[in-house]
Amino acid sequence: MRAGAYDCDVLVVGGGIVGLSVAYAITRAAPGTRVTVLEKEAGPARHQTGRNSGVIHSGVYYRPGSLKARYAVRGAAEMVKFCAEYDIAHAVTGKLIVATERSELPRLHALVQRGRENGIPVRELVAAQIAEYEPEVRGLAAIHVGTTGVCDFVAVARQLAEASGAEIRYGAQVLQVDRRPELGVAVRTADGAVVRGRVLVNCAGLYCDEVARMTGDDPGMRIIPFRGEYYELARPELVRGLVYPVPDPAFPFLGVHLTRGIDGGVHVGPNAVPALAREGYGWGVVRPRELARTLTWPGAWRIAGRHWRYGGGELWRSVSKAAFTEAVRRLLPAVTEEDLVPAAAGVRAQAVLRDGTLVDDFLIHEGARAVHVLNAPSPAATASLPIGREVARRALIALGRA
């Protein structure tokens, strides 16, 4: 690569909400910096960003001081402001976290303390007070978190793309990366194009570990895809807002919950089952090469060995609508199988270490002329603006413009 042969200064791989937030942050922090975003789909936000509950998370669940806690609390307020500024559909609704068994009460009280440590307003409710917010929901106790909301994250991603001023290339699947630390990176895409940049930012989501390896960096983890299956509630009047169970702290999943979206419909789910492909949105989607990469990763087997009982329950709820309904009825006794209409599934890009550790926080690694976002699950959409600034800061340091 000759010094004058660059197509851009920063080359971002991935046109989800995090990649587009990085582009947006770079052009604001360093005007004149040329940014190109490569996205393999025909438009933005086609995977994790566009296949979730649309919730602006408050940050109540996350360990104080963690990146998740800091970015979610800050990001929730910034996301509401961003949506208001650009007239994107959103609402601050608050949500209930409901304990339905006595064994969950200590975990519920721990969430109260955690929320307060993170600076989040939390109201404790006894059983009779739950009906003030959700007349059809039953539980032994609950907490109300006032800063939770909902929005249209796909519209946010589109606005970030437009406002960034970056060049966005859709239909540009990355096949090869040639990095030369003294010069920069050259990326070859599936259409035969070669794009050259000084610094690469990897926001490839479900494929971030593969892009890191293409670059020549060892990510030290592997993406294990977990599918989250959703239903739509045929009687949305049963739920006013957002209702969640008390999560199990052993897992980075929040359990089956009820979410009234910005369109007025109520999403029910997700569960969490292993996907048979990185984009395995149904049991019929199997990609042998991707499945083999999962099965040959030692961490995948260690997860299975530790959590087979929990995983078995999730699998049973995937194949049995009656079992899924029963899980929902713990929170919403009035629901029936007929009330649950199948909806689009999502796939979570979960980073797993070799020893089977499920990475629970955002994970950002740096290499020569490269920044890799290796774990950005929920609440990444909520926290995308501060995450974008942090990744942009690192990219600009690598570029020598910080």
The domain spans of the chain are 1-88+150-220+359-402, 95-146, 225-241+252-353
| Rounded CA separation 119/126 (Å) | 22
Q: Report the pLDDT value the prediction gives residue 118, as an integer from 0 to 100.
A: 95
Whether pTM exceeds 0.75:
yes
Mean pLDDT by 10 residues, the chain (402 residues): 78 98 98 97 95 94 93 97 98 96 95 95 97 97 97 98 97 97 94 96 98 97 96 97 88 82 94 95 97 96 86 91 95 97 96 94 96 95 98 96 70
Per the rule left: phi > 0, alpha: psi between -120 and 50, beta: everything else, 351 is beta
Q: Report the pLDDT value the prediction gives residue 217, as an integer from 0 to 100.
A: 97
Helices 384-399/67-85 angle, 10° precision: 100
Q: Domain 1-88+150-220+359-402 is in which class?
A: alpha beta
Query: 277 with 288: CB under 8 angstroms?
Result: no
Q: Report the pLDDT value the prediction gives residue 313, as an integer from 0 to 100.
A: 87
Q: Report the pLDDT value the prediction gives residue 252, as an integer from 0 to 100.
A: 59
Q: Report the pLDDT value the prediction gives residue 2, as an integer from 0 to 100.
A: 53
Query: 174 with 34: CB under 8 angstroms?
Result: no
Residue 212 parent element (H or E): helix 208-215
Query: 240 with 260: CB under 8 angstroms?
Result: yes
